Structures are given as C-alpha cells and as structure tokens.
Structure 1
Amino acid sequence: MKVYIKNCQRLLKVNQQRIKSLLRKALRLLGLHKAELSILFVNDRRMRILNRQYRGVDRTTDVLSFPQIEYSSQLSALSSQQFVLGDIIINLHQAKRQASEYGHTFNEELKKLLIHGLLHLIDYDHEKSRYRKNKMERKEKELLKAIR
C-alpha cells in the first residue's frame, strides 16, 4: 500500500504520516492491500480551477476524486497486483471553514474528506440516487469509526 501526499498550499499544515496511516488502515479495511493513491492538498483558487475544468462548476469545493480504474469491472484483478486507485484532491481552506461550520476539529473534517474521497475512488456515489447516497453515508460512518 502506497500513499503519496503533496501539500500545494502554504496556509495550513497537515500531519502527513498520520494521514498515510489513516488511509492505509482504511485501504486494509476495504480489502485494497495493493492499492496506491495520491493525495493533493490545495487552496480555494486552485480547487475552483479544477472544479470548473473537470465538473463544469465555477466555484470551489471541498474534495474531488479522480479514479484511475473502473473499480466495479476490475475488482477481481485488483487483489493480485499493485495498482493505482486514483487521486484525491482536498481544499484545506474549505475543510477549515467546514470544520468550524459543523462544530468539529479541522482534523476530524480532514479525516471525513479523505474517507469521502477514497469511497468515490471505489465507485461510491451520493449524487446519482438516494439509495447510493445512503449506502455511501453508511460506509463513511463505518470507516470513520473503525479508523479512530
């Protein structure tokens, strides 16, 4: 399991070792023992550009995920060899605002966004249907509880 992290903004610091540890634990719980993924931390400006470029939405957002594989169709092949799961981009400035808004710590919000982004990489979705939204929310809660 490999987790690569790059912090491309200067305002907020993150504990990269802790983040790697959390993600490795989540990957193990998901049975993705040979997965590689990249995490990129950005600011509002960069996230707005990316959100506009890839989703056609001209505003910032908290997290974007870019899967490198079609997870559901390649599931059986994933357990036998090293593979790149994808990239998660997190806007740390938005994460800080959301932590304040939701009444929890920055680290708690960051953990939630990491898990949310990870689930998107493995084909979980919250926009296509109510059923899929509920399924994703349940899995998020399960993983967040397990990686504490």
Structure 2
Amino acid sequence: LGDIVIAAPTAARQAHAAGHTPAEEICLLAVHGILHLLGYDHDTPARKEAMWQKQAQILAANGLAHVKPTEETHE
C-alpha cells in the first residue's frame, strides 16, 4: 500500500502540544497514516469527519480513547 514515516522529534512536540505522551502520539500518527493508505483523507469537512471517527474508533479499541488529534498538530 505504501510507507508511513514518523519523525520522533516532531511526534514528541505534537504530543506535548496535545497533552499526551510521545508513544501515544506515535500510535495516533500510525493509525492516521494507515487510514491514508486505505484511502481516507481530510480534505473536506465530511471526509475529515469520517476519517476522525474511524481514527477514534481504532484508538478506542486499543485503549487510547483519550488520544485525540488537535487542529494545530494534525492538519
């Protein structure tokens, strides 16, 4: 499908801004990247809502319901 590259220093900064741990941010970014590889996108409000819902569902199923993207870090 493709590759997912996560920059640890950027993930750490985003985690701090969002109020969760770097490990939690890396999980969020991995899920986000996988969803992009599967065809999800957030280029329109409706598509963003669908992607964010699926992302939240996957994170919650893995004990990370409290990990949420912020507008500043996940545009």
Scaled by the length of structure 2, what TM-score is found? 0.80
1:144 and 2:59 correspond: yes
**By how many angstroms is 1:137 displaced?**
0.2
Structure 1 unmatched ranges of 5 or more? 1-84
Identity between Structure 1 and Structure 2 (%): 46
Cα deviation for residue 147 of structure 1 reads 1.9
Q: Tell me how far apart the structure 1 counterparts of residues 10 and 37 of structure 2 sit (CA, whole Å).
A: 20
CA RMSD of aligned residues (A): 0.8
Q: 2:45 — aligned with what?
A: 130
CA–CA separation in structure 1 for the residues paired with 2:3 and 2:62: 20
User: Matched residues in 2 for 1:102 and 1:135: separation?
Assistant: 21
Q: Higher strand fraction: Structure 1 or Structure 2? A: 1
Give the equivalent residue in structure 1 for 2:16.
Answer: 100
Runs of 4+ residues over 4 Å off in structure 1: none
**Structure with the greater alpha carbon radius of gyration:** 1
Greater relative contact order (CA < 8 Å, ≥ 6 in sequence): 2
Structure 2: state its 5+ residue gaps. Answer: 64-75
Taking structure 1 as the reference length, the TM-score comes to 0.41
Question: Is the helix fraction higher in 1 or 2?
Answer: 2
